[in-house]
A and B are shown apart, each in its own frame.
Chain A
Amino acid sequence: MSGQPAVFDGEPGHALKRFWESGPSGWNRTLTRPVVLVPFFVGAAIVPLILQYLEDNSSWIGAQYWTLILATCAMYACLAVALNLVVGYAGLLNLGFIAFFGIGSYAYALVASDQIHLHFPLWAALLVVIVVTLAFALLVGVPALRLRGDYLAIVTLAFGLIMTNLILDLDRPPVLAGHQFGPDGLNITNGTNGLHNVAPFSLPTSLPLLGDIPHYRMYYWVFLGFLALSIFCMLRWRNTRTGRAWVAIREDELAARAMGVNIFKYRLLAFCTSAVMAGIVGMIDAALVFNAYPENFAVQQTVQVFVMAILGGLGSLPGAIIGSIAFTIPPYVLQQFVFYKYLIISVVLIAVMVFRPEGLLGTVSLRPRKALGGTIELLTAESAEEVAEMPAVSGADAAEIEAVTGEIVTPEQKA
């Protein structure tokens, strides 16, 4: 590991020990430093070149296959980061999340295929995707975010189902109470078949120094670039008024409101930003596979992205990447178990929630709060225990931890 963070001086063994002992928030802090992230992304970008080199110089074939897997992995990482924004940062359970991915891919497919004979240039298509996903996000978000927490989950779930129905049924003109809307041959979504022959982005097929770039490798880099951009924005955002407002709302809505935080505004912002991010990922995916499928809306996909974000730890960006790697690569390696894929995913999801609800690197504590004891004695004993468990941090250090990770350093004490 060449890029050791500057905070670790002294012998490497000692630094590793200190890293290990710094706990999830410390790991998170270290792993989101530029000195770790930049080499990580450069290394990840080089991997397909190494695969190509291996294929050229040995009897092994599969560089293209593995590059596609890497692209899938990067795609899920983008989705997990976007989900982290809405669930991890803002604490909103959006169960219709994957619908925005589907909306993005269909929006792009419609303006870049023969379905309705539109062929927009990339920038215009991107604009269309952003506007369409934003419109849907506002349509759901504006009414739903005014409701109590649980109801948001219901409304977004219902929204996802409505979108699935619409995609499946809009291959023919809608007929309402005997009146047909639109001409006879109207076919917007092509039903269960999905949209085919979607044009890829007009990207260069070869670059100076790198030579020819195969389709999959290019899109792997596109996903990786989008991932890097998302993570950069999220890390910068954490430190601003907006990021602090999100964390405040998630930790204690009432207190945040009392501090004058406009809860509705910040929730809507998180909801819409995450939706647009998912929409753009959907657009890149449609260009990568030349198709937009109704399966893009499948609820199982939502659960899969949730598992990735939760295993890595809600609120943690490196966790989202680790989670997406952990759930993308193994199904390809362990082909014989692919039948059991969702069974395994569901067991992992339950086990993580029960045994380590904050995930591997999470900073959002979903742990059961200790119920308040019936007597004063119990109460003080517990408080004393909590104080004793608090890490000894200096004031400046605590402020930095809060600013960088968004973690509230003092233990949460809600009734």
Chain B
Amino acid sequence: MGYFLQQLVNGLELGSLYALVALGYTLIYGILELLNFAHGDVFMVGAFLAAGAAAALVHNEIAAIPGGFVVVLMLLVAMGGAGVLGVAIERVAYRPLRNANRLAPLITAIGVSLFLENAVFVWVSPAPVLVPTNALVSQGVIQAGSVATPLTGLVLFAGALALMIALDLFVFRTRFGSAMRATAQDREAATFMGIDVDRVIMVTFFIASALAGLGGVLFGLRYASVDFFMGYGLGIKAFTAAVIGGIGNIRGAMVGGLLLGVLESLSGGFISTQFQDTFVFLALIAVLLLRPQGLLGQPVTDRA
């Protein structure tokens, strides 16, 4: 039982990270019906920005800077940087193709993903970069009965959860949120209602990418190492989570992310670590076949 609970806690921790990145996929899909394959790499760039900011401050021997301040700065740099990157990607690679055949933006998205990976590989670092977490956050471990989790894991979970609730409130309770939902439902009709669709799409990309940047910071604090290829694997998992929850559905992405994290952790713990990832993708295929709209998604009619 203790082992099961431990796996569950690990799964929730991992799942909250998936959920953060999955939210980005889902927001962008909801608005543009675009599978933004580059989103995982935006997460990776965010993590690198955070690692860079942390390294610059910690290694400069400015001992007076408290760890908490550095973390706040990391958050600002990573979320702001990733957000701007997301907006730039939309501007350069997706906007010119907004009304094109659906194949075209999908292919550019793959191109952007490959570009970001290789840009970091070539210009930043081909090797993993360490994040000086020791100097930033407490390395304490929380023990509850037989279940233990590092403090950073708890921060990851709590931070992700808080952001998800905030996003949900933003989308469902504010004026701009309803503009976003209107754009998602029918872009043309939204234009007639006086909504600046371009601006809505831009802000959506900013929010989605900033969330990925936040995920990058939390990932760096929890796992202490970032590399140029990490966005690929995590991006695919997060994307899987978004699809399982019902792509385009914000609450679905959260549920899907947590579910996927738990599934991965439990299948790794009880069935086989060797085929952990295979189970994840089999779950994706199973969901797509049995309930293509995802767990919380609305059934969609085939748009030919």
* B275 pairs with A350, CB closer than 8 A: no
The answer to whether the Cβ of A123 comes within 8 Å of any Cβ in the partner chain is no
- A residues contacting the other copy or chain, number (CB 8 A): 57
Residues of A within 8 A of B275 (CB): 165, 169, 174, 176
B272 engages A153 (CB within 8 Å)? no
Closest to A175 in B: B272
Interface membership of A162, Cβ < 8 A: yes
Binary contact readout A150-164 vs B (1 if CB under 8 angstroms, 0 otherwise)? 110111011101100
B285 touching A158 by the CB < 8 A rule? yes
Q: Is the C-beta of A33 less than 8 angstroms from some C-beta in chain B?
A: no
Q: Which residues of B contact A310 (CB under 8 A)?
A: 107
Verify if A241 is at the interface (C-beta below 8 Å from B): no
Whether A340 lies near B122 (C-beta < 8 A) is yes
Give the docked Cα–Cα distance between A345 and B277 (Å): 29
> Is the pair A353, B119 in contact by a Cβ cutoff of 8 Å?
no
Contact of A147 among B110, B112, B282, B292 (CB under 8 A): B292
Number of B interface residues at 8 Å Cβ cutoff, please give it. 50
Is A366 a contact of B119 with CB atoms below 8 Å? Answer: no
* Contact partner, B108, options A253, A354, A367, Cβ 8 Å: A354
Picked from B122, B274, B284, the residue with its CB within 8 Å of the CB of A158 is B284
Please encode chain A, from 249 to 285, with 1 for each CB lying within 8 Å of some chain B CB and 0 for all others.
0001110010000000000000000000000000000
Contact A365 B300 (CB under 8 A): no
Verify A174–B272 contact, CB threshold 8 A: yes
Please tell me which one of the listed residues A151, A175, A252 contacts residue B304 in the complex, with CB atoms under 8 A apart. A252
A148 CB-CB contact with B under 8 Å = yes
Contact pick for A346, options B104, B114, B271, B303, CB 8 Å: B114
Q: Decide if A149 is an interface residue (CB 8 Å cutoff).
A: yes
Determine if A368 and B278 form an interchain contact, defined as CB atoms under 8 angstroms apart: no
Counting residue pairs across A and B whose Cβ atoms lie within 8 Å, the total is 146
Q: Given A346-B114, A346-B115, A354-B93, are A177 and B271 neighbors across the interface (CB < 8 Å)?
A: yes
Q: How far apart are the CA atoms of A158 and B281 in the complex, in Å?
A: 6
CB neighbours (8 Å) of B288 from chain A are 144, 147, 151, 154-155
The 8 Å CB contact of B285, one of A143, A343, A350, is A143
> Is A206 part of the contact surface with B, judged by Cβ < 8 Å?
no
Chain B residues within an 8 Å CB radius of A297: none
A303 touching B114 by the CB < 8 A rule? yes
Chain B residue numbers with a CB within 8 Å of A252 are 304
Q: Contact between B100 and A342 (Cβ–Cβ < 8 Å)?
A: no
* Minimum Cβ distance to chain A for residue B28 (Å): 13
Min CB distance B235 to A, Å, is 11
Give bound CA distance, A299 to B110, whole Å: 10
B96 within 8 A of A: yes
14 interchain pairs (CB within 8 A)?
A: A87-B103, A143-B285, A144-B288, A150-B102, A158-B285, A165-B275, A169-B274, A169-B275, A177-B271, A257-B304, A306-B110, A342-B114, A343-B115, A349-B110
Knowing that A150-B35, A169-B274, A367-B101 are A-B contacts, what are 5 other residue pairs whose CB atoms are under 8 Å apart, sorted by A's residue number? A148-B300, A257-B304, A306-B110, A366-B97, A368-B99
